[in-house]
Homo-oligomer: A and B are copies of this chain.
Amino acid sequence: MQNTKVLILAGGVGTRFWPISKQEKPKQFLDILGTGKSLLQECFDRYSEIVPANNIYVITNKNYKDLVLAQLPSLTESQVMSEPFGKNTAACIAYAAYKFTDENPNSTMIVAPSDHLIMDRAAFFASMKKAVNYAQNNDVLVTLGLKPHRPDTGYGYIQYSNQAVEEDIHEVVTFTEKPPLELAEKFIKSGDFLWNSGMFVWSCSSIIKSFNSFLPEMSLAFEGGNGAYNTAIEFEHISKVYSQISAISIDNGILEKAENTFVIPSSFGWSDLGTWKSVQENIDSVEGNHKINVDLHAIESENNLVVSSNHKLVVIQGVNDLFIIDSGDALLICKNTFDQGVKSITLDIKKKFNDKYN
């Protein structure tokens, strides 16, 4: 993994995990599965096994910089890339591409979401190494795709060619955003679709070339700062750039348009931990219920997810299929079918209680 740098995306605000995840401490900074480490720390540890720690960068909002340094004390300040405000993933990646190139024009970049779950590290490393190897030797944009095992409507899908260009490397046919259930079922049935993991690998030169083609105004803005990267005026430059560029995802801005996209079909026990439901699916049940960070006494109750941010005693009786999430100062109790509604709560309560709660 020579010349390989990892860009960990840690800018999310995590409204879907209210009330545990809040603006001042989004999901990636939380030990949401009760493992003893935050998702960001888990992510960092994972990549530390395949690249030197000083090749791992975290990009996040400037307000979370101190939180990142506190959780990952081995990082230098230069490894925490501050955004003045969020501009979606294309901006993050362009920023990193120019910064990494400034240090080493032959850099390869792994783009890694900070808040996903990966259960099988060995399988993950195998896929990732193939991706890095292919990206280092070709002018390509490589993604990791997960073999889907249910018609999940919360994920994006990648259609891929059955013909491998080399072992496990397949051309991408289409990227599809979150589909309706009927379509998702068709995708699964066809066998030609993978879940889009949001993990990408490319050389900095290839991705910059793609920016030049598909988002040239973004290239131009970031390029102009040559000389600023990896110096004391980097943030000043970035602040100027961010005020000019548009907010667009790397998927919409580049991947859906590029013709040199490839995918590695993978299986490594992955979840984007997008909602409480996906958290529940990824922790074991105890006496019919799922719990994180609680002492639970359950009477006539099944299939509840009970979570506390401070270790807490919880007694439930006569309730089923609920999320019960306690953050100390706030408590959420909802049916697990309300999963997708959780993200709207933050706004609802802001309005209802006149900005008393954030």
Give the shortest distance, in Å, between A245 (CB) and chain B (any CB).
Answer: 36
CB neighbors of B among A285-330 (8 A): 295, 297, 299, 308, 312-319, 322, 324, 326, 328-330
Check A353 against B295 for contact (C-beta < 8 Å).
yes
Give the shortest distance, in Å, between A303 (CB) and chain B (any CB).
Answer: 14
Alpha-carbon separation in the docked complex, A18 to B313 (Å): 12
Check A341 against B313 for contact (C-beta < 8 Å).
no
Which stretch (A140-148, A187-195, A216-224, A344-352) binds chain B? A344-352
Chain B residues closer than 8 Å to A352, beta-carbon distance: 297
Residue-wise interface mask of A (331-355) relative to B, using a CB-CB cutoff of 8 A (1 in contact, 0 not): 1111101100100010011001100
Task: Assess whether A356 is interfacial by the CB under 8 Å rule.
Answer: yes
Task: Assess whether A357 is interfacial by the CB under 8 Å rule.
Answer: yes
Chain B residues closer than 8 Å to A333, beta-carbon distance: 314-317, 319, 322, 324, 333
Task: Assess whether A19 is interfacial by the CB under 8 Å rule.
Answer: yes
Chain B residues closer than 8 Å to A349, beta-carbon distance: 295, 297, 313, 315
Chain B residues closer than 8 Å to A357, beta-carbon distance: 295, 313
Residue-wise interface mask of A (254-274) relative to B, using a CB-CB cutoff of 8 A (1 in contact, 0 not): 000000000000000000000
Check B318 against A330 for contact (C-beta < 8 Å).
no
Residue of B nearest to A337 (CB): B318
Alpha-carbon separation in the docked complex, A326 to B329 (Å): 10
Chain B residues closer than 8 Å to A317, beta-carbon distance: 333-335, 338, 341
Alpha-carbon separation in the docked complex, A70 to B337 (Å): 48
Chain B residues closer than 8 Å to A324, beta-carbon distance: 331, 333
Alpha-carbon separation in the docked complex, A18 to B295 (Å): 16
Among the listed B19, B308, B322, which residue makes an inter-chain contact with A313, where contact means beta carbons less than 8 Å apart?
B19
Check B353 against A334 for contact (C-beta < 8 Å).
no
Alpha-carbon separation in the docked complex, A341 to B299 (Å): 11
Give the shortest distance, in Å, between A75 (CB) and chain B (any CB).
Answer: 34
- Name which of A316, A317, A326, A328 has the most chain B CB atoms within 10 A of its CB: A317
Chain B residues closer than 8 Å to A337, beta-carbon distance: 318
Check B315 against A326 for contact (C-beta < 8 Å).
no
Name the 6 nearest CB pairs between A and B, nearest first: A317-B334, A318-B335, A313-B330, A314-B331, A316-B333, A317-B338
12 interchain pairs (CB within 8 A)? A297-B348, A312-B330, A312-B331, A314-B330, A315-B332, A315-B334, A315-B345, A319-B335, A324-B333, A326-B326, A328-B328, A331-B331
